[in-house]
Structure 1
Amino acid sequence: MNEDHLRMLASPRWAEVLRTHVLPWLESVGELGDDVLEIGPGPGLTTDLLLTLTTRITAVEVDASLAAQLARRLAGSNVEVINASAERTGLAADRFSAAACFAVLHHTETAAVQDQIFAELLRVLRPGGILVGSEGYDNERTRRAHAGDQFVPVDPDELPRWLGAIGFTGIAVEHGELDFRFHARKPA
């Protein structure tokens, strides 16, 4: 991730966007439950947001430096930070009441890796557990923000078919001005 993009994800401006746009949406899609998995927390502002909605979070971050920084910042809290790959978390199957991925999937190497991530999230969710996430649109503004980064956009129009093929049900995609948000469930 380029330094400008990382700074933005740690900024008060991004925290405000999360508080005013993502939090109300999260509250509208239903309870996250007591044990939430977050993939790709980066500097952790999304983790801070999730802390207001659940009692326990496991945050999986592939970047060792970001994982260590987040673990130090949240030491003594109800967050466990794990330095691991989102497509192979090593976590127990059927454990989590919810899984969250905010603006992280486009940072993967390929669409095949995104597919592996969704399959892993389905595996670790409890029956009936909810997947929540958001991604930015593939446009010139987003591409400029990711200059020098890995950027594999997610197509919101293909997402319902994609998640359904993996095994999710109750799939919904909501379009916003800056991003699209989605939620789905593991069959009960």
Structure 2
Amino acid sequence: MAMNLFHQLCCRSSMWERASSTRIVPWALSGVDLGASALEIGPGYGANVRALRARTASLTGVEIDPDLAARLRVKRGSEIAVVDGDGTDMPFEAKQFDSVVCFTMLHHVPTPDLQDALFADALRVLRPGGVFAGSDGLDSRMFRLVHVGDTCVPVPPDTAVERLWRVGFADVEIEVGAGSFRFRGYRPN
């Protein structure tokens, strides 16, 4: 995963954390119960930690970038258990979490096949009835401009339902908003 300097500065800013906690997470998780044990794939700089901790008793994050993982342990280690790992092959037991979430990071997964592997591993670590939910940006010229020099492989929302069904999710919902889309799917009982 590569992020340009502008993107790095934006994602670690208090402005981004405020936007995440007041707009992104509430919209993406509207009507979603995270249960007692939630996993965030790709917590990055930790912009979502406070908003997620308000919704679950236990929060774990799996972060592929070792420097970001170490930084997050120092800054937010009392709020989130941070594990170094790849969302496409997570170091967790099957059926370990009540919910799995990710926000504004799917487009940083370098290929559609790896995105599908992430979806499949999210399903694997969910308990029966658990939810996989989150949001990601919509492809546009401005979106691409912000990501110049980044890994940027947008997930087309019109294909996301079928992709989530294909790996085994049920009751999949996609909703397109202004500049982003939210998704949710459930592990069958």
Q: TM-score, normalised by structure 1?
A: 0.95
**Superimposed CA distance per residue, residues 46-89 of structure 1 (whole angstroms, 9 cap, x where no aligned partner):** 122211111111100000100000011123x2411011111111
Deviation for aligned residue 1:29: 2.3
- Note the residue ranges of structure 1 that are not aligned, 5 or more in a row: none
Q: Sequence identity, in percent? A: 39
Query: For residue 59 of structure 2, what is the aligned residue in structure 1?
Result: 57
Over the residues paired in the alignment, what is the CA RMSD in angstroms?
A: 1.2
**Superimposed CA distance per residue, residues 89-143 of structure 1 (whole angstroms, 9 cap, x where no aligned partner):** 1101001000011011111121110010000000000000001111101111010
Task: Answer yes or no: is 1:140 the counterpart of 2:130.
Answer: no
Alpha-carbon contact 1:32-1:97 (below 8 Å) kept:
yes
Deviation for aligned residue 1:166: 0.7
Instruction: Write the mapping of 1:15-94 to structure 2, written as runs, cut at 5 A.
Output: 15-26=17-28, 28-75=30-77, 77-94=78-95
Q: TM-score, normalised by structure 2?
A: 0.95
Alpha-carbon contact 2:17-2:47 (below 8 Å) kept:
yes
**Superimposed CA distance per residue, residues 15-61 of structure 1 (whole angstroms, 9 cap, x where no aligned partner):** 22222222432552221001111011110011222111111111000
Q: Moved runs in structure 1, 4+ residues, more than 3 A?
A: none
Alpha-carbon contact 2:21-2:50 (below 8 Å) kept:
no
Query: For residue 177 of structure 1, what is the aligned residue in structure 2?
Result: 178
Structure 2 Cα separation of the partners of residues 80 and 143 of structure 1: 32
Amino acid at match of 2:63: E
> Number of paired residues?
187
- Note the residue ranges of structure 2 that are not aligned, 5 or more in a row: none
Alpha-carbon contact 1:29-1:183 (below 8 Å) kept:
no
Q: Equivalent of 1:2, from 1, 4, 7?
A: 4
